[in-house]
Structures are given as structure tokens and as C-alpha cells.
Amino acid sequence: MGKVIAVFNQKGGVGKTTTNVNLSACLAAKGKKVLVIDIDPQGNTTSGLGIDKNHLAYSMYDLIIGNAEVRQCIYDTKRDNLFIIPSSVQLAGAEIELTEMEGREMRLKCAIQDICHEYDYIFVDCPPSLGLLTINALTAVDRVLIPIQCEYYALEGVSQLMNTIELVKKNLNPALEIQGVVLSMFDGRTNLSIQVVDEVKKYFRGKVYTTLIPRNVRLAEAPSYGLSIIEYDAKSKGAEAYCELAEEFLDLEEDVI
Ligand code: ADP
Ligand code: MG
């Protein structure tokens, strides 16, 4: 059975999309079959993987509204083992349309039910909000991967994030667990980054990945070419870090099994 994971933090700009794209690409390069689901109307995962979100027959919008079958919404990213359900501009309107719909929190879960077993991992990139799209993501997954940026107030908003996870767990998805916490935009030259790592490790005891994702300009450049970091600059510090994270992720998976 494939494992379904949401990349979630309601704060914007913390590295959700960067982690989603690059961890998925690294796992796919290691031979795991991966499906990326972009449920963020901004569609940065979609464009980051080189897909033009303006010219799609079907997208996440059609899937969640019920206009299309799941297989019609899955696209080949033209990379080995890496597939995507892309976002599109219409998805922004789905939040409102969903409020009127039956089973509005469970629509993604129901829509992907039949295809989960076809992938080793499915990663859902969440929008930076706590609306119905995020609730759909948290209801559809087994686990949550939380990126946290190494900056002032890194833990600000984390209690709200944990409350949301608890609420979803209580009401919609009892099996929901935290997969792990990824520290992003780490700068080893600053005391601040080092302090944040300590603080986050104290808060999320045992859940924080040892691999730290450094601040690396190549990671910020890659999406504008529609490339993952291992395609754009495989020798960069960012590529090294995401490959290492993928290895750590898989090692921990084996421990669980
Ligand atoms: P989110 O999805 O949480 O909003 P993003 O992954 O889009 O966050 O990252 C926000 C911005 O920071 C983007 O412009 C991205 O390219 C850049 N970025 C993300 N991670 C890094 C990093 N480790 N080093 C440098 N820039 C980064
Ligand atoms: Mg994003």
C-alpha cells in the first residue's frame, strides 16, 4: 500500500513546495514510484516540475469538484517514476464551491482511494492556509511532513498547526501522524539557525530529520526552469541535502517496517 503524505505548514514561504518537488524527485530518482498532488491554487509545484498549468485538460480542480476521474488528472512529468496531479488557476475557486458540496472534507480522500496502491509514495503540497483544500489534504493522508524555516519566530504558528492536525485527527482522520519535521533554509554561520534547530528539536522530540536543508540560491533558481534541483544543479549544496534527506527518509521507513 502506498504511503500518502501531506507537506503542510500554514505559514507561507517555509519550503513546503521546494521540499515537495525535490524530495519527490530524489525518491523517484532512487527508483520509488511517486505521485505529487498539487492542491495549492498557486500551483508552484506544478510549474516547478515544468508543467504549464494554463493548458491542462484536467487538473486538481476537476478532481476535487468531481468533473473528472482520477486517472484523467494524472500527468507524466517526463521523468522516470514521477507523476503529478497538477494545480490550475480554477482551484482558487474550489474553496468556495466545496462549502456547498456533500462530504466536502473527504473529496480528495475518496478521489484517490483507487490509485494509492499504484505508488510507493504520494506527496500532497498544501496551500499556506487552513481552508477546505488543506483540510481535504490532511484528511486524505496517512502522515504529515512539516517544513520549518530556520528564522526568527520559527515556532510561531506551530501550536496552531498542531491544533489543526489534532482537530483533523479527532474528527476526520484518526490515523493521522507526523512523519517528520524538515528544517529548511539553514545557515550554519548564524547562531540564529543553530538556536532554531535546538528549539525545534526540543518541541518535536525525535521527529526532526538530522539532514538540514541549507539556504542555497540554486534551490531558489531551479523552479524558474521547471526543474528539480537534481536536474538543475546536481552538484549544488541544495541537491546534496535533498538527496541526503531522501536517504534518511527511506532509512526511517525501513525501521518502521
Ligand atoms: P512554501 O511552499 O512553504 O510557500 P517555498 O518552497 O515556495 O515555500 O519557498 C519559498 C521561497 O524560498 C521560494 O522562492 C523558494 O524558491 C525559496 N527557497 C525555498 N527553500 C530554499 C532554500 N533552502 N534555499 C534558498 N531558497 C529557498
Ligand atoms: Mg508552496
Ligand 1 contact via 14 beta carbon (within 6 Å)? yes
- CATH code for the domain of 120: 3.40.50.300
Residue-level pLDDT at 106: 96
Query: Which residue puts its alpha carbon closest to atom 19 of ligand 1?
Result: 15
Say how many C-beta atoms besides its own lie within 10 A of residue 171's C-beta. 11
Rg (CA), the chain: 17
- Please report which helix (H) or strand (E) contains residue 37, including its range: strand 34-38
Is the CB of 215 within 6 Å of ligand 1? Answer: yes
Residue 23 structural domain: 3-256
Q: Residue 223: which residues within 8 A CB-CB, separation 6 or more?
A: 17, 18, 21, 44, 47, 48
Please tell me whether residue 205 adopts helix, strand or coil conformation: coil
pLDDT of residue 156: 85
Does ligand 1 come within 6 angstroms of the Cβ of 224?
no
Please tell me the distance from the alpha carbon of residue 162 to that of residue 54, in angstroms, as a whole number.
Answer: 35
**Ligand 1 atom at minimum distance from 222 CA:** 16
| Local structure of residue 2 (DSSP, 8 states) | -
Number of domains the chain is built from: 1
Name which residue sits closest to atom 20 of ligand 1, judged by CA: 15
- Assess whether the C-beta atom of 12 lies below 6 angstroms from ligand 1: yes
| pLDDT < 50: residue spans in the chain | 257
- Cα-based distances in Å from 123 to 14, 39, 209: 17, 10, 17
pTM of the model: 0.96
225 within ligand 1 shell (Cβ under 6 A): no
CB-based burial label for 180 (10 Å; 0-12, 13-18, 19+): buried
Distance in Å, CA 126 to ligand 1 centroid: 14
Q: What is the ipTM of this complex?
A: 0.99
pLDDT score recorded for residue 15: 97
Q: What percentage of the chain exceeds 70 in pLDDT?
A: 98
CA distance 225 to 138: 30
Q: Is 236 left (phi over 0), alpha (psi -120 to 50) or beta?
A: beta
128 lines ligand 1 (CB under 6 A): yes
